[in-house]
Chains A and B, each alone.
Chain A
Amino acid sequence: MKTEPELAASDRIVDPSLTVPGVTATISGMILDPPRPKLWLLGFAIGFLLVLALLAAVSWLFIRGIGIWGLNVPIAWGFAIVNFVWWIGIGHAGTFISAILFLLHQSWRTSINRFTEAMTLFAVACAGLYPLLHLGRPAYFYWLLPYPDTMGLWPQFRSPLVWDVFAVSTYACVSLLFWYVGLLPDLATMRDKAPSLLGRRMYGVLALGWRGDGRHWSHYEKLYVILAGLATPLVVSVHSIVGLDFAVAILPGWHSTIFPPYFVGGAIFSGFAMVLTLVIPLRAMYGLKGLITARHLELMAMVLLATGSVVAYGYFSEFFTAWWSGDEFEKFVNANRALGPYAPAFWTMLACNVLVPQLFWSRRLRRSVPVLFVGALLVNVGMWLERFVIVVTSLHRDYLPSSWGMYIPTFWDWTTFAGTLGLFLSLIFLFVRLLPAIAMSEVRSLVFRKGKVS
């Protein structure tokens, strides 16, 4: 084993003062004896109120029809698809951190992987609502599934929307499995620690009889690697297929071969931004600075810088291709994005997604928590705007000027969006309250190994 060089305190991914029992106590303490319960309650209440707003918006949608949104012809896709792509993108960080970084032996992932996996699941849940809600006749959503019906009707497999159904549902299943398998040892810890009978029973059932046996660990680690291997291609496939939803169309601004890789880059970019947005308040609230260290934040900022560059390249490539192709429609769409009625969205997007990550060339700024937090928030906004720009500005002025139109989101568009933000927030708050937000078993092993090294 290679000897690791001595790291400066700020470069460590685990606080050297941590002990194995200390790790368990800190993390299980978040649930058993939560600090600042009022703050938690406040956050959860905000999220839950927004969930109620979502319920109202969806009910009204089902009663009145899709016309309550600002959609029209030509802009037949609006907030629903923008938000779908945005949420799916956010859902990418979890699997990327859990699977790819695991396979690459990036041990710094251990203290954030559980949390980001949960975030992934919740983001995918939010995303998954939209394709159903945006149907004109949502009751028939299952016609997109290949099931044997008496009329011999199947989905139309050439349509990327069908691929989407498979990609997103597979991703959701594998992510859930991966997350749950990873939770097993910790659920057992919680079972053992829980003071109440109810807690012991619930964690006990969920722990599936985990006893920390050697054979358990052996099977567990094999399964975990296999699942990581399965999840890795999904990181690439899901957002590639979401990219194909657009790229398969002949619409200028959508019909672009760069979309699949550019969407994957953008997804990881937005996912890491969301992780930062959530982790920074979390570590402050629960005093986890020893577990999620400045080094973690710095590493995530570097991922932002790298994936941000991929996104910037995507933008550049779109413009270059439009100019190089000489296609008047492509050229127009790009000019219209920069100069047309939605130009503010475009320029804000460029500032958030291209300029903001450039800050992270500086080591000092990478380590500044306020800068990181604001930067991550801006990237979230920028990536949402990117999807808005792709969906709306391409549609609103396409081939025939006679059919050009404008998209103005309605109250219900905004309410639905805010509602899914609330749903996401509520689920996150429930998660940190009920399940270990940091993988205890993995951190314990890390602390143990670090302890041996030093």
Chain B
Amino acid sequence: MPSLTPHSPANEFPDGASLWPEDLDRREFIKVMGASLALAGLGSCGRASKALVPYVVQPGEIVPGKPLYYATAIPVEGYGRGILVEAHEGRPTKIEGNPRHPESLGATDAITQASILDLYDPDRSQAPLARGHAASWSAFEGEWLERRQVLLGVDGRGFTVLTEPTTSPTQRREIHRLLDRFPRARWYQHTPLARYDSDGVQWDCDPGAADVIVAIESDFLHRHPAGLRYARAFARRRRVENGGIRANRLYALEAGWSLTGAMADHRLPVSPAGLRRVLDAVSGALDGNATDRDSDLTPDERHFAGLMATDLRLHAPRVLCIAGAEQPVEIQRWAHAVNHRLGGAAALERAGGAIRSDSDPRSAGGLGELAGAIDRGEVSTLAMLGSNPVYTGAADLDFGRRLAAVEYSVHLGTHRDETAAHCRWHLPESHYLEAWSDLRGFDGTAGIQQPLIEPLYGSRSHSEIVRLLADGVAVSDYDLVRETWAPRADGADFEEQWGRWLNQGWVDGPAGGAGRERGTGFQPVLSPNPGRMPVPRWQTGAPARPSPTLLFRPDPVLADGRGANNGWLQELPRPFTALVWGNALQVAPEFAAERKLANGDEVRLEGEGRSLVVPVWIVRGQAADCAVLHLGGGRSRGGSLGTGRGANAYAIRPQGSPWEIAAISCVKTGGSVELVSTQHHFTMEGRNLARSLNLRELPRQARDPGPAGSLYPAWPREGHAWGMSIDLSTCLGCSACVVACQAENNTPVVGKEQVARGREMHWIRVDRYFIGEGMDTRVLSQPVPCMHCENAPCELVCPVGATVHSSEGLNEMVYNRCVGTRYCSNNCPYKVRRFNFFDFRAPAESTVHLQENPNVTVRVRGVMEKCTYCVQRIDAGRIAAEKDDRPLRDGEIRTACQQACPVEAIVFGDLADPQSAVSRRKREALDYALLGELNTRPRTTYLAKVINPA
């Protein structure tokens, strides 16, 4: 592990050290300067207290300019996901998926990509705070030793620990150890997000094995700890290869849009009440009495229920029902019961109980129970580790007020957040790239989380703090993790196995637990077993005149709000709205028309005695009587970027029903705010841009002929011809590519005001177009990077030749030569060029520069920039091949967007090689060039989206 701590200028002087005292006169100044001179001379007489080692003999594995990759794991809602982290001279810069980890398969999502920026967040907590004032670790340790003695004397009565649910064996072991040491202490767990076990069972599935999938308010392809694995398996069944496809069919029932819903062949926008009616009708149809409650349904619902029930019966047992983790237990039961009844071959039931600690028998409950304990005066000492309950707690708990009643409170967190402000002690927590830990994936695969860098600031990790609280002595997390795993090693040679686990990023052998060998931990639900689990029925009446339902959902990129201070995430356009830097209440056009609302108009939401003012954003294809509000906005202490962005959904979120308020009043206030979106038109205006076709038309599909030949001879081609193919059939529109590109190419964050002026800098964007009406409303997602046109319109018009064509077909941008006429952008029909209207670089002293890729130029004010096909990666591949004296292999060079993509929708390679993956893809009949009629001859082409409706 490289242990070079980068220079961090922010830490060099204490605050205010450089300020000149106002009352300093000339004499005083001379005195100070004289003393300084004398002391500076004395200083050279002393000896450095620590040995400084010059970098004369470099460590074996570190070669300047050559990145190193380390396998580690990132916590995703507590579950582990294997990643590889690129480090330059000991400085982690980029995160990639670990291809050998089952929960990554080489892919990443946007949040994982952006987590590298959190490491260098200048707003990170850097020192312990005692009642808001900077203090030292030893001060805390000394105080705790006394407190601990008192607690030991009463067996830990009043001692309470609050954590987030975790899969880490070490963290759980340490907490259990603490509970052993303090027998009357209590452990509570809190997450504002969903839990993934119900009725004591953690369900898993293999979407690739199902012919018909029903997603009930479930975003299992995107917002799920196993989402990358699910999406990969799902995409396998949606990809056309050699003209053939073994397509599955996806039904989605949901009130608002999810990325999974956007992939559905049939999608029913439906309110929670309507959902129960439809499921009930499907249950009836599965029982054979199709008509018993059909009269309650709207024509759309009846049609949808009929199709779905028929398809489920027809394709049993190769069917799969997935209910969203946010759904109430009865909906979950319905899905599981249907899986059981129809013998869902794709559904897996975990035998050994849940993997995450939600239902740990030693846990005393959640935040509600903790609040009750505080009210009963049972909590005198509260340690909140890695959780932010003051912000994420339900409104009716009013946790901040309750926290004030606790005599002694300690908070461990990466930021001085809302909870930190309410505590006696705030302790800085290490970023996951700075700490040793271990995590289990959703499928149970264990992996060691190894740090890439020593803590940048004086932070400590979760398990270190638990040990400190329990024993009063500091033990390093490295020793704690090894303490967990040494007894689990298979045979005697622990060190050999430990090395292998770290190297590959997951724990193999029996120690690794259930996960790695598929099917050992999870049992497929194979035989039809209707008796084991009856399909629940609801007694629902006909739809009454509904008052709107408010649905809470995690933000697609900020999750519960923890990503709020991450500029990449804040500036990542949210799916379906393209909103950045803030959330909005998403409503259907009918909903808005009824209340005369336009985008940005504020409404007052009132429900269960609380109210919230929030602007609306109109989204087609949403249930008309539902409004969707994302969590994660409106933070009061979210850091310099995250504070006050959007509305705080937690302010009206009830503890009892955290995901919906069944009846809410929604009144226009008359106010209006500017919501900032990167896309203003969501229809194609009759243009054939993002193309889709029905599976049945596939055999008859003729290749798009493209423009006729040219009068001029073709440009001679030599060597490689780089090209890209993007498959719209599998693209989820998850935007992992956007953040991956931003991380790879040092793309700046420009801020809300600049995005409002249309100056966002993303080199690849995801365009979204709504097509169809009513129940047939679809969203087509289309990632658009630079097309690298062979007849590039931008090259023709540049007066200084700053954008030129390479012999391998790259449309290259020479930043040094650019004078900034911006004519190239005007002439680019794809509008993929981005201009540095201001100096968008972070301030020179900012720590975020440590993240930058040293192989990519950071652009100055006044120059144009755009996608380069990751030319630095092409060159790295070429150099590696030349050193080995071998030709470049297909797939050896992967662009950042391609590497991140969970569904392998993006393929990059050499068009001169007819056997390359990209050449094969471009031979499909579905291949077409965006705006090909302009004869720009783009090197990036698309495969039209295939939909498979019944």
A154 to B934, CA, bound (A): 29
Min CB gap B575→A, angstroms: 13
Min CB gap A80→B, angstroms: 10
In the complex, are the beta carbons of B838 and A250 less than 8 A apart? no
In the complex, are the beta carbons of A155 and B830 less than 8 A apart? no
Surface stretch bound by A, among B28-36, B663-671, B752-760: B752-760
User: Chain B contacts of A138 at CB under 8 A?
Assistant: 819
Min CB gap A233→B, angstroms: 23
A251 touches which of B687, B827, B838 (Cβ 8 Å): B827
Interface 0/1 of A254-268, CB less than 8 Å to B: 000000000000000
In the complex, are the beta carbons of B799 and A71 less than 8 A apart? no
A209 to B727, CA, bound (A): 78
Of residues 787 through 818 on chain B, the ones whose CB sits less than 8 Å from some CB of chain A are 793, 796-801, 817-818
User: Chain A contacts of B768 at CB under 8 A?
Assistant: 402
A64 to B831, CA, bound (A): 25
**Is A1 engaged at the interface, CB distance under 8 Å to the other chain?**
no
**Is A237 engaged at the interface, CB distance under 8 Å to the other chain?**
no
A401 touches which of B683, B765, B836 (Cβ 8 Å): B683
Surface stretch bound by B, among A158-166, A380-388, A439-447: A158-166
In the complex, are the beta carbons of B819 and A136 less than 8 A apart? yes
**Is B931 engaged at the interface, CB distance under 8 Å to the other chain?**
yes
Of residues 158 through 197 on chain A, the ones whose CB sits less than 8 Å from some CB of chain B are 158-162, 165
In the complex, are the beta carbons of A155 and B834 less than 8 A apart? no
**Which interface class (under 10, 10 to 19, 20 to 34, 35 or more) fits B?**
35 or more
B758 touches which of A77, A158, A405 (Cβ 8 Å): A405
Surface stretch bound by B, among A93-101, A109-117, A275-283, A392-400: A392-400
In the complex, are the beta carbons of A66 and B823 less than 8 A apart? no
User: Chain B contacts of A77 at CB under 8 A?
Assistant: 822-823, 826
In the complex, are the beta carbons of B826 and A402 less than 8 A apart? no
A158 to B837, CA, bound (A): 26
A158 touches which of B796, B835, B860 (Cβ 8 Å): B796
**Is A348 engaged at the interface, CB distance under 8 Å to the other chain?**
no
**Which interface class (under 10, 10 to 19, 20 to 34, 35 or more) fits A?**
35 or more
Interface 0/1 of B476-513, CB less than 8 Å to A: 00000000000000000000000000000000000000
In the complex, are the beta carbons of A136 and B798 less than 8 A apart? no
User: Chain A contacts of B679 at CB under 8 A?
Assistant: 402-403
In the complex, are the beta carbons of A136 and B818 less than 8 A apart? yes
**Is A73 engaged at the interface, CB distance under 8 Å to the other chain?**
yes
**Is B26 engaged at the interface, CB distance under 8 Å to the other chain?**
no
Residue from B682, B782, B827, B934 with most neighbouring chain A CB atoms (10 Å): B827
Surface stretch bound by B, among A38-46, A139-147, A411-419: A139-147
**Is A328 engaged at the interface, CB distance under 8 Å to the other chain?**
yes
Min CB gap A359→B, angstroms: 37
Interface 0/1 of A72-83, CB less than 8 Å to B: 111111000000
Surface stretch bound by A, among B246-254, B294-302, B861-869: B861-869
User: Chain A contacts of B836 at CB under 8 A?
Assistant: 65, 136
- CB nearest to A327 among chain B residues: B933
In the complex, are the beta carbons of A76 and B829 less than 8 A apart? no
In the complex, are the beta carbons of B685 and A332 less than 8 A apart? yes
A153 to B800, CA, bound (A): 9
User: Chain A contacts of B759 at CB under 8 A?
Assistant: 67, 72-73
Residue from A399, A400, A403 with most neighbouring chain B CB atoms (10 Å): A400
In the complex, are the beta carbons of B820 and A135 less than 8 A apart? yes
In the complex, are the beta carbons of A67 and B817 less than 8 A apart? no
**Is A358 engaged at the interface, CB distance under 8 Å to the other chain?**
no
A158 to B784, CA, bound (A): 27
In the complex, are the beta carbons of B799 and A144 less than 8 A apart? yes
B862 touches which of A70, A136, A248, A251 (Cβ 8 Å): A136
Min CB gap B847→A, angstroms: 24
In the complex, are the beta carbons of B800 and A143 less than 8 A apart? yes
**Is B689 engaged at the interface, CB distance under 8 Å to the other chain?**
yes
In the complex, are the beta carbons of B822 and A399 less than 8 A apart? no
Name the prevailing secondary structure of the A interface residues: loop
User: Chain B contacts of A71 at CB under 8 A?
Assistant: 822, 837
B801 touches which of A156, A249, A328 (Cβ 8 Å): A156
- CB nearest to B863 among chain A residues: A136
In the complex, are the beta carbons of B681 and A73 less than 8 A apart? no
User: Chain B contacts of A64 at CB under 8 A?
Assistant: 838
A328 to B931, CA, bound (A): 12
Given A77-B826, A137-B818, A143-B817, decide whether A161 and B758 contact each other with a Cβ distance below 8 A. no
**Is B457 engaged at the interface, CB distance under 8 Å to the other chain?**
no
A251 to B826, CA, bound (A): 7
Given A73-B833, A250-B829, decide whether A400 and B817 contact each other with a Cβ distance below 8 A. no
In the complex, are the beta carbons of A65 and B800 less than 8 A apart? no
User: Chain B contacts of A154 at CB under 8 A?
Assistant: 801
**Is A404 engaged at the interface, CB distance under 8 Å to the other chain?**
yes
In the complex, are the beta carbons of B754 and A67 less than 8 A apart? yes
In the complex, are the beta carbons of A402 and B799 less than 8 A apart? no
In the complex, are the beta carbons of B819 and A73 less than 8 A apart? no
User: Chain B contacts of A329 at CB under 8 A?
Assistant: 687
In the complex, are the beta carbons of A402 and B861 less than 8 A apart? no
User: Chain A contacts of B767 at CB under 8 A?
Assistant: 400, 402-403
In the complex, are the beta carbons of A140 and B799 less than 8 A apart? no
**Is B684 engaged at the interface, CB distance under 8 Å to the other chain?**
yes
B837 touches which of A66, A332, A403 (Cβ 8 Å): A66
Of residues 736 through 791 on chain B, the ones whose CB sits less than 8 Å from some CB of chain A are 754, 757-759, 765, 767-769, 782, 784
Min CB gap B816→A, angstroms: 10
User: Chain B contacts of A72 at CB under 8 A?
Assistant: 757-759, 837
In the complex, are the beta carbons of B826 and A76 less than 8 A apart? yes
In the complex, are the beta carbons of B862 and A66 less than 8 A apart? yes
User: Chain B contacts of A249 at CB under 8 A?
Assistant: 793, 797, 823, 826-827
**Is B821 engaged at the interface, CB distance under 8 Å to the other chain?**
yes
Interface 0/1 of B680-712, CB less than 8 Å to A: 111111110100000000000000000000000
A402 to B767, CA, bound (A): 6
Min CB gap B933→A, angstroms: 9
A73 touches which of B758, B821, B827, B839 (Cβ 8 Å): B758
Residue from B681, B839, B860, B863 with most neighbouring chain A CB atoms (10 Å): B681
**Is B825 engaged at the interface, CB distance under 8 Å to the other chain?**
yes
- CB nearest to A161 among chain B residues: B799
Min CB gap A277→B, angstroms: 31
A399 touches which of B757, B782, B829 (Cβ 8 Å): B829
User: Chain B contacts of A75 at CB under 8 A?
Assistant: 758
In the complex, are the beta carbons of A161 and B823 less than 8 A apart? yes
In the complex, are the beta carbons of B801 and A76 less than 8 A apart? no
Min CB gap A82→B, angstroms: 13
Min CB gap B394→A, angstroms: 38
Of residues 17 through 32 on chain B, the ones whose CB sits less than 8 Å from some CB of chain A are none
User: Chain A contacts of B782 at CB under 8 A?
Assistant: 402
User: Chain A contacts of B680 at CB under 8 A?
Assistant: 404-406
Interface 0/1 of B909-950, CB less than 8 Å to A: 000000000000000000000010010000000000000000
Given A137-B818, A404-B680, decide whether A73 and B835 contact each other with a Cβ distance below 8 A. yes
User: Chain B contacts of A135 at CB under 8 A?
Assistant: 819-821, 862
- CB nearest to A77 among chain B residues: B826
In the complex, are the beta carbons of B821 and A398 less than 8 A apart? no
In the complex, are the beta carbons of A161 and B825 less than 8 A apart? no
A72 to B767, CA, bound (A): 18
In the complex, are the beta carbons of A67 and B758 less than 8 A apart? no
Of residues 575 through 629 on chain B, the ones whose CB sits less than 8 Å from some CB of chain A are none
Instruction: Kindly list 13 other residue pairs between chains A and B, CB separation below 8 angstroms, not including A137-B820, A399-B830, A406-B758.
Output: A67-B754, A74-B831, A75-B758, A136-B861, A144-B800, A155-B800, A159-B796, A162-B799, A249-B826, A328-B686, A328-B687, A400-B784, A404-B680
Nearest first, the 8 closest Cβ-Cβ pairs linking A and B are: A136-B820, A136-B862, A72-B758, A67-B837, A402-B767, A76-B822, A403-B831, A161-B799
Pick 29 A–B contacts, CB within 8 A, sort by A: A65-B837, A67-B757, A67-B759, A67-B838, A70-B757, A71-B837, A73-B831, A74-B758, A74-B825, A74-B826, A75-B758, A77-B826, A135-B821, A136-B821, A136-B835, A136-B864, A137-B861, A138-B819, A153-B800, A153-B801, A158-B797, A159-B797, A249-B793, A251-B826, A399-B687, A399-B829, A399-B931, A400-B689, A402-B769
